[in-house]
């Protein structure tokens, strides 16, 4: 089965242009699936039946996998078997009658505007690292960036005159993201006062260089810094995408329409963006409870 999996992954890489992270997720899902089938004595796609797929998903859940993880693996498996059927690699599609699993809605973790300001103000801006961290967090929140998008920004992606960022998101799709005045001010200060010292005369195309001025700062390093600043602000440990979730929620609470937020986040499907309306409804219910005479 593994050779069929490898051929499918090659097709995704060439035809779909998926990001490295997405492709690795598919690889992990389908390799685990192929291993399960091998242990079950199944070596060819035409030997797979629907009950084998369901047994794999059931085994995952019994081992502690969450509903969202199991659903993602099922999506990978359905795509794999559909590909085999359409390309002649299998005579039947055993996943065609397996419906997608419904996953309980997990609302994203968000900060209030006041809490966000608290976190943003934590870096010691009398130091080079503090100025850099402040610039990174301001840009992350102002533009609603994924952590991978933030650390991957290049110098050429920043248009200071227009106050825009060119962001490369999932599937190498690009979008333009407004920065806002506050983020732009910190970006300009960082570029003027700090970055020349951080790169140490090394030619580096990235906006936020890594150790020794080489490459870019890692996602893990940025996340660790954000968590530390959140603790300094008296807040619990937060998720790497908390800034992005807060960005979307604050826009909707401020009156932005869902379609505009979808474009700013770089979501292909507006259904992905709609989760934030649930957060905003919570906010509206809280406002009603506090201020309505019958709340």
Is 175 annotated as catalytic? no
Q: What helix, strand, coil percent values describe the chain, rounded to 5?
A: 60, 5, 35
Domain shared by 75 and 135, yes or no: no
Which residue, of 45, 67, 86, is where some domain finishes? 86
181-203: pLDDT as tens digits? 999 999 999 999 999 999 987 78
Provide the domain limits for residue 68. Answer: 2-86
How many other CB atoms sit within 10 Å of the CB of residue 102?
A: 8
Told to judge if 267 belongs to the known catalytic residues of this protein, a careful annotator would answer yes
The reply to whether 32 and 149 lie within a common domain is no
At 116 the pLDDT is 95
Side-chain-side CA neighbours of 12 within 13 Å: the count stands at: 24
Residue 291 has pLDDT above 80, yes or no: no
Q: pLDDT over 90 for what percent of the chain?
A: 55
Cα–Cα distance list, 198 to 110, 120, 193, 212, 232 (Å) = 32, 21, 10, 7, 25
51 has catalytic annotation: no
In angstroms, the CA 147 to CA 136 distance is: 10
Whether residue 241 lies in the annotated active site: yes
Question: Is 30 part of a structural domain of the chain?
Answer: yes
Q: What is the pLDDT of residue 256?
A: 86
- Active-site annotation holds for 173: no
Q: Is 216 a catalytic residue?
A: no
Are residues 41 and 167 both part of a single domain?
Answer: no
The Cα 243–Cα 254 span in angstroms is 16
Share of the chain above pLDDT 70, in %: 92
- Whether residues 119 and 253 share a domain: the answer is yes
Of the candidates 166, 189, 267, 283, the residue annotated as catalytic is 267
**Contact residues for 137 (Cβ-Cβ < 8 A; gap 6+):** 119, 120, 123, 226, 229, 243
Output 236 or 99, whichever has higher pLDDT: 236
- Asked if the model's pLDDT at residue 210 lies above 80, the reply is yes
User: Residue 227 pLDDT > 70, yes or no?
Assistant: yes
Measuring CA to CA, how many Å separate 257 from each of 26, 113, 166?
33, 19, 22
Q: How many CB atoms lie within 10 A of CB 188?
A: 13
């Amino acid at each position: 089965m593994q050779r069929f999996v490898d051929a499918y992954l090659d097709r995704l890489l060439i035809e779909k242009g998926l990001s490295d992270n997405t492709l690795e997720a598919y690889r992990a899902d389908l390799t685990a699936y192929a291993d399960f089938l091998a242990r079950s004595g199944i070596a060819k796609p035409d030997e797979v039946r629907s009950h084998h797929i369901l047994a794999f998903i059931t085994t995952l859940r019994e081992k502690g996998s969450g509903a969202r993880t199991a659903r993602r693996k099922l999506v990978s498996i359905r795509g794999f078997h559909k590909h085999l059927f359409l390309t002649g690699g299998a005579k039947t599609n055993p996943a065609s009658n397996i419906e997608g699993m419904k996953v309980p809605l997990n609302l994203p973790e968000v900060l209030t505007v006041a809490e966000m300001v608290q976190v943003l103000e934590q870096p010691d801006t009398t130091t080079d690292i503090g100025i850099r961290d402040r610039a990174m967090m301001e840009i992350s929140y102002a533009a609603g960036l994924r952590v991978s998008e933030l650390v991957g920004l290049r110098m050429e992606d920043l248009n200071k005159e227009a106050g825009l960022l060119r962001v490369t998101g999932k599937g190498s799709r690009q979008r333009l993201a407004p920065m806002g005045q506050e983020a732009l001010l910190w970006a300009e200060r960082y570029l003027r006062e700090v970055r020349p010292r951080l790169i140490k005369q090394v030619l580096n195309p990235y906006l936020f260089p890594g150790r020794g001025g080489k490459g870019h700062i890692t996602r893990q390093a940025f996340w660790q810094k954000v968590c530390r600043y959140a603790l300094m602000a008296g807040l619990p440990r937060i998720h790497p995408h908390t800034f992005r979730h807060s960005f979307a929620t604050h826009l909707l609470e401020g009156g932005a329409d869902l379609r505009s937020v979808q474009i700013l986040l770089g979501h292909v499907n507006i259904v992905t963006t709609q989760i934030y309306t649930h957060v905003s409804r919570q906010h509206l219910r809280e406002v009603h409870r506090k201020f309505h005479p019958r709340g």
